[in-house]
Structure 1
């Protein structure tokens, strides 16, 4: 496999009782995966009628079940979150994890999560504007308290006054576990999102274009990667210093169908300029159906 330098992460969906889920998180670390993630949804697509756990408690338990592997949200969105309580939640998880969290952030899909609280559907422009405010607020909230303005009582406090979010003298949990703040991996598949990555991203996540599969998907994923390089250079940033995470299971196939399928997809990801790929832990049936044996085979192949 020519992609031996590629970092590999795995998504563990919050669907199984904790004894089994905990085994998977611990095994991901034992097998040498570089990062492990869970979705940040209240339910998800075809699995909406199945058990689905909450993100923050899941990551907290995962932090206690592991000691080295990086952990992350794939990805958190503003669909049902306010940046103030979410920042406090996620900063606490990072402290418990000893500074191993990667905060994956996205604009929020248009499915169940986007209207579950009774809100009206948003236009693409509204979703982007809300996401920008969400990222900007988290960027301030999760930094060192010494960098923040003082509140009226003399203690550090943060005010947020935007079109989508408001906060008055918000308080946080103390110094961040990863100064100056935990890394943001921002999900983006379009020009405005890539501009946001260039401004705030410590990493980029992409699922590629949702309307393409196979060779067309790979071609357009490569174009997105080149576009990000241009935007990072225009912003005065070194493109080599921004990790690029590709969801390997978004182009019409399942990368863990076999070891050969994974290796072929991983090699194409390297060729397209990606530093990291993310796969999904095999499920018994339905989407991402496969065998856990392939997870072990990938680990063994990477160890050679």
Structure 2
């Protein structure tokens, strides 16, 4: 089992930098931040840009992998995103992971326009991912789709990681699961929108079984966001229970959120440090 931590981009860098350094010192394998213009859970809170945050995080760390949790087509174009990815991959010396999903929430319409239906969002995601894959592996890309276009898209010098940075694809439906397997190095899920924790784990189990069917025996990294229904770092026992359930369902990686002082993901850094000292080493051994 590998362990990840998501650090929301809400802190001034003087306060954020110690968190990113501490995530590495505590032994987490990967650290993530949200890629939103704003987030429905914290609309009135400070919020900073994803790319500058991850660039700064790369400069204060040296081993931990860094990723977007997750990038979507809501306000990103594959060509401009390619430039950001190339820079992040270079500055981090090949430690960047691009989480990608269909998109939702406030970002869907914040720049204007109508919200797309579920099927249209998957159509757009497929086109977005196809073009992003081309741009990260090929120079001079001409592409004309329903949602995106490039004309002689120049993408030199290419990624540090070859053939390109890994994609970790968010997926819950049949089409997006197949898309994840086609383009992804891994799959991430937050589970379904349900009323209670046991029902949530049942939904996650069903998704995992469906991914089994798509993979047909192929090895594939599977990431579970632990905090969709209940914050996993409310206690050491809660975290260990969540990790145990994830392992039983075949997940290779789990992601929790850095504890906040209040509100969503409220908890203490003492619990985080205890988990890092006691639980993570046990699952590694």
Give the 5 Å matches for 1:229-244: 229-233=212-216, 238-240=217-219, 242-244=220-222
1:169 and 1:211 map into 2 onto residues whose CA distance is: 45
Specify the alignment match of 1:53 in structure 2.
48
When the two chains are superposed, the root-mean-square deviation of aligned CA atoms in Å is 1.0
Give the 5 Å matches for 1:92-103: 92-103=87-98
Specify the alignment match of 1:190 in structure 2.
173
Q: State yes or no: 1:33 paired with 2:16.
A: no
Is the 1:88–1:173 contact (alpha carbons within 8 Å) kept by the matching residues of 2? no
| TM-score normalized with structure 2 length | 0.96
2:15 and 2:171 map into 1 onto residues whose CA distance is: 32
Task: Name structure 1 gaps, 5 residues minimum.
Answer: 1-5, 149-155
What is the Cα deviation at residue 175 of structure 1?
A: 2.8
Specify the alignment match of 1:207 in structure 2.
190
Task: Name structure 2 gaps, 5 residues minimum.
Answer: none
Is the 1:92–1:173 contact (alpha carbons within 8 Å) kept by the matching residues of 2? no
Q: State yes or no: 1:245 paired with 2:239.
A: no
| TM-score normalized with structure 1 length | 0.90
Specify the alignment match of 2:14 in structure 1.
19
Specify the alignment match of 2:274 in structure 1.
297
Equivalent pairs, count: 281
Specify the alignment match of 1:129 in structure 2.
123
Find the residue that maps to 2:71 and give its secondary structure.
coil
Deviating above 6 A after TM superposition, structure 1's stretches of 4 or more consecutive aligned residues are none
Aligned match of 1:275 in 247, 252, 266?
A: 252
Specify the alignment match of 1:254 in structure 2.
231
- C-alpha offsets along residues 172-194 of structure 1, whole Å, 9 cap, x if unaligned? 13131100011000001111110
